[in-house]
Amino acid sequence: MKHSELKEKALKKRKVESEYDSLEPECKLLHDLLKARQKAGLSQAEVAKRMGTKAPAITRLETSLSSGKHSPSIATIKKYADALDCHLEIKIVANN
């Protein structure tokens, strides 16, 4: 079975779909962080140096967003963005 087929089958279950949807903000943020780091052409070690920390901290930051085990603070994400010469935007959007 292909990944896409398994995902489609799993998402037919209401609880699975609900949990999947709840992870969307973290997944989007992780995607945006990784895309920005790639565009900047920086390694985790280089980002860490710019943030005044060590590479494992950046690994934990990026991993935490995909694992859901830890939510990094807004201040940490802002420092990460600053290290990439980016800025952080946060919005609250009403549900339709």
Q: What is the pTM of this model?
A: 0.76
State how far the Cα of 29 lies from the Cα of 73, in Å rounded to an integer.
Answer: 13
The CATH class of the 26-83 domain is mainly alpha
Q: Find tokens 């690994």 and name the residue.
A: 59
Tell me what pLDDT residue 95 has: 85
Tell me the one-letter amino acid at 69.
Answer: K
pLDDT, mean of each 10-residue run, the chain (96 residues): 84 83 80 94 96 94 79 91 94 86
In the chain, alpha helices (H): 3-10, 14-22, 24-40, 44-51, 55-67, 74-83
Q: How many other β-carbons are positioned within 10 Å of the β-carbon of residue 47? A: 23
**Domain residue extents for the chain:** 26-83
Q: For position 72, what pLDDT does the model report?
A: 87
What pLDDT score was predicted for residue 68? 67
Rounded Cα distance, 21 and 10, in Å: 13
